[in-house]
Structure 1
Amino acid sequence: MAQNPGARTPHAEGPRPEGDDDGELRRALAVALLPGIDEMTRRVVDDIHAHSGTYASGSPVSRDDLWGICRDNLLRALEDFGGLSSGGDAEQAARETGRRRAEQDVPLDTVLQAYRRGGRVMWQVMAEHLRATRGTRQAHGAAGDRDTELDMAGAVWETIDRYSLVMAESYRLTQLEMQGRQETRRVALFEALLDGRGDDPAVAAAASAALGVPVQDRYVIVVAAQDPAAPPNPAPVLDEHGIWSFWRPRSGRYAGIVRLAAGESGVLIDLLRHRTGATAGVSPEFDRLARAGRALRLAEQALRTLPAKSGEAAAFDDRLAEVLLVGRPEIAERIVGTRLGGVLDMAAEREVLLGTLRVWLDSGCSAARAAELLYCHRNTVLNRIGRIAELTGCNAESGEVRLGWALALRALPLLAGDGEGAAGL
């Protein structure tokens, strides 16, 4: 933020160690220079402009802004240097400089450099006065040697250094406060998107600005369970692979919006599954922030189909059958009962029969292919499928029966209580 020549914390470190002569000289210098404060300010502003492109540009710090801050700092610095009572807070000018320049996003190094330029000009003015009055002071028996002038220079830079520290501390504190306010705003606008308020163009535009992403792009919403074994926030893993995301805890889970480049959907699922260990549902892609609320609901539905604490991640479009079943538990239960009930009653055969049925269906109902995957003879597969047909009273050649079996196999783990949404079944 703003910056200016230095000043020193008035009584920051107790009594001055200088002797009476030094104290009197410092006081005399301050009293002599204070009437010329405006000319000194002009010299400081000109010097800062000559050595800083940021300040010379006039944006974000105008010349009037710089002038006012410099004058205030110079005034306080001279009063402090001379031990003059100002009747106010001698550090206020430095704190105000740090606060204002932080808000204007002027780099701290640039502000500190300007403080040094201001201190240099302040000492130049003092040195000019000391040289001009050396004979007069010596005639009155006052100290006028080179060592005394060096002592004054040291005192000036001590003052500048102290004011610089005060300014820098204020700058950093302001930055922290601004970051806190910005984060609060980002969270509030993200929540507004998830609540479906992105349909308001003003909300969408504000969220875009706060999050730093376009209103229109390729996005997905991810909802991750807060598994004890998984990191609380997948963002660092995604950041490592150049994938932007923003996450917040929400209703006992983590909700995140992820910006995708072409072909990154598969990468995202893989990272969630193998690098984060989070159990997560991923929405279909959407092309504008206004659709984040709907995407959140779809991601939550995908998550409900996954076994709790499984570390599995799945896209909504890959779990369509499960989404339908988990949303209608009474239908899911009926499908399992009518299509697999007889098999489930056979404790000794159940696991083998269900495993064979799953592989057979996934193999396009090819007994030969299923036999290769199960490391058995194709006739064994056919015999097991026949046994299932017998226990369920169904015709294995019927497409409708095969669809019923496939749906029942997908509904079974949901009814078993392993799914995120099983409590509602």
Structure 2
Amino acid sequence: MTGSSSWLIGGHEVTQILSTRIPELTDEVLGVLRAELPVYARLPTELLQGDVRRVVVRALRLFVTALDTDGRPDDAALADLAESAARRAEEGVPFEMVVAAYHRGVRVCADTALAGARPEDVETVHAVLRIAMGFLEHIAVAVAAGYAQHTRTALAEQAASRTLLVNTLVEGGDIHEAAGRAGMTLPASYLVATLAAGAHPDESDPGIDPLVAARWKLRRIHEELSRHYRETVLWIPATDGGQALIPIATAPGESSSADIVRLERILGDVRRAAGADIHVGVAVATPSEVPEAARLSREVLEVALRLGRPPGLYRLVDVVLEHQLSRAGAGRDLLATLLDPLDGHDDLGETLQVFLASGLNRRRTASTLHVHPNTVDNRIRRVTELTGLDATRAEDLPLLHAALTARRAGSGL
């Protein structure tokens, strides 16, 4: 057999059996869809008897034509079916229900076409069933393409609306309008966290593209952070980290400290997922106060990094003195000049920093610097001679700490 014109069932051509009954078959298919697939029973009558009916009619005619083309509809017809599937996706009809609907339609066609089959028609029955399977394969691919296109479009629109929301929150603007476009409800507060990630070992592997490794690291950070929160974590990526807006149900000052403690615990999982050290500056703010909180969290992070603090989470209270001293002004400039006599004496400046960081422990300082403890004593004595400030005298310690912080804020020690 080379074509459906010679395919006879009960002495009648298969295509003739089907093509003359398109209206009745359409009603039957719609009835089957409503009875067997509940999602179609819930569609508005106007939609069911309008666009869905038109799609059923087109599909029935395509099936009849497919009997002459070995089950493959032409490309234009497949494109139409993909577009129709995209509309169903937009209306919220699940993908599997649309595929099931086409199977139900083909079943109705096969039942009708083969109802009068006789023993001598077995070859035609096999051919029709084979064509039906090929037809359904092409239809399923078209439907999948339609849903995939809708998903890509929807994801792009969602990403764009969320980007608009996070930019509006951080930079200022009509946050309520932006939240509405994103389909999101603004929370009572946000944990505004600015993250800086250290290098992953892959970034220094000569066989791996360091940019790809870095991007993949940042993606893992975002995904792991989001995994721990039910609500959407808004994210602004950066070269070495990013800024996260984490929604919380409490207003600033109520129980936000518990949320910060929780975030600190979560950071352990984030660090393991990233395979790198993580420093975080955090602040809590209402949605309208996010711009200031975003700035503050960045500043807190910068101070923690500048001071060489270990990886972890930092609030303003954790670096409040250093943060205040890092603000430009006459006071900071004056503090910085107190250590000007150490310019050109890098060993003295380094020893002073380590000595203060170690809690004035000369042996620990010596071990860190790989020198003898007596060398530490001699250097600290020399610092006192040059600056007039004694690191072993309690009343001079605050001034030395402040002076070091002021110099770090610039380009000094």
Normalising to structure 2: TM-score of the pair? 0.71
1:172 pairs with one of 135, 148, 152: 148
Aligned twin of 2:255: none
Letter in 2 for 1:43: E
Alignment of 1:41-80 (within 5 A): 41-58=26-43, 62-64=47-49, 65-80=51-66
Q: Which residue of 2 aligns with 1:283?
A: 282
- 1:220 is aligned, of 165, 176, 192, to 192
Find out whether 1:112 has 2:103 as its counterpart: no
Query: Structure 1, residues 206-246: CA drift from partner, whole Å, max 9, x if none?
Result: 34x25xx6432442232537967552342133246558633
Whole-Å separation in 1 of the counterparts to 2:12 and 2:159: 48
For residue 101 of structure 1, what is the aligned residue in structure 2?
88
Is the Cα contact below 8 Å between 1:49 and 1:55 reproduced in 2? yes
Structure 1: distance between partners of 2:284 and 2:96: 43
Show the 5 A alignment for 1:10-409.
17-18=2-3, 21-22=6-7, 28-58=13-43, 62-64=47-49, 65-81=51-67, 89-128=76-115, 130=116, 145-197=121-173, 199-207=174-182, 209=183, 214-224=186-196, 229=203, 231-233=217-219, 234-239=221-226, 241=228, 245-249=233-237, 254-259=242-247, 262=259, 263-268=261-266, 270=268, 276=274, 277=276, 280-286=279-285, 288-305=286-303, 306-307=305-306, 312-317=311-316, 318-328=318-328, 331-338=331-338, 340-342=339-341, 349-360=348-359, 391-393=386-388, 401-409=396-404
Q: TM-score, normalised by structure 1?
A: 0.69
Which stretch shows the higher mean deviation, 294-303 or 347-356? 347-356
Q: Name the aligned partner's letter for residue 6 of structure 2.
A: D
CA contact (8 A) 1:222 1:296 kept: yes
Deviation, 1:328, is 0.8
Cα distance in 2 between the residues matched to 1:75 and 1:82: 12
Q: Once the two structures are superposed, what CA deviation does each residue of 1:112-143 show, in whole Å capped at 9, x if it has no partner?
A: 11211111111112123x45xx7xxxxxxxx9
CA-CA distance at 1:47 after TM superposition: 1.3
- Asked if 1 retains the 8 angstrom alpha-carbon contact of 2:341 and 2:386, the reply is yes
In the alignment, the residues of structure 1 paired with residue 74 and residue 347 of structure 2 have an alpha-carbon distance, to the nearest angstrom, of: 94
Q: Call closer, same or farther: CA 1:152–1:401 in 2, change over 3 Å.
A: same
Match of 1:412 among 384, 407, 411: 407
Larger Rg: 1
* Shift of residue 313, structure 1, vs aligned partner: 4.9
1: CA distance between counterparts of 2:141 and 2:272? Answer: 48
| Higher RCO by CA contacts (8 Å cutoff, separation 6 or greater) | 1
5+ residue gaps in structure 1?
Answer: 1-15, 135-142, 362-369, 419-425
Question: 1:61 and 1:215, CA in 2 relative to 1: closer, same or farther beyond 3 A?
Answer: farther
What is the alpha-carbon root mean square deviation over aligned residues? Answer: 4.6
Counterpart for residue 8 of structure 1: none
